[in-house]
Homo-oligomer: A and B are copies of this chain.
Amino acid sequence: MKQGETFIRVRYAETDKMGVVYHSRYLDWMEVGRTEYFRQLGMTYSEIEKNNIFLPVIKAYCQYKSPARYDDLLRIVTTVTSLQEVRLIFNYEIFREDKLLTLGETEHAFVNHLGRPIVLKKHNPFLWRRLLEAAGEHTES
Taking beta carbons and an 8 Å cutoff, which residues of A are in contact with B?
A: 9, 11-13, 15-20, 22-25, 27-28, 31-32, 35, 44-46, 54, 56-64, 67, 70-71, 115
Contacts and interface: CB of A to CB of B under 8 A. Distances in A.
A9 B36 CA distance: 10
Contact of A11 (B31, B63, B70): B31
A27 B23 contact: yes
Closest 7 A/B residue pairs (Cβ):
A24-B27, A15-B17, A13-B28, A23-B57, A24-B24, A60-B62, A17-B19
**Chain copies in complex:** 4
B54 A58 contact: no
A2 B21 CA distance: 30
A64 to B, nearest CB: 5
Contact of A13 (B16, B20, B54, B56): B16
A107 to B, nearest CB: 9
Given A15-B17, A18-B56, 17 more contacts: A9-B35, A12-B35, A12-B45, A13-B16, A13-B22, A15-B16, A16-B17, A17-B20, A23-B57, A24-B28, A35-B71, A46-B71, A58-B63, A59-B61, A59-B63, A60-B60, A61-B61
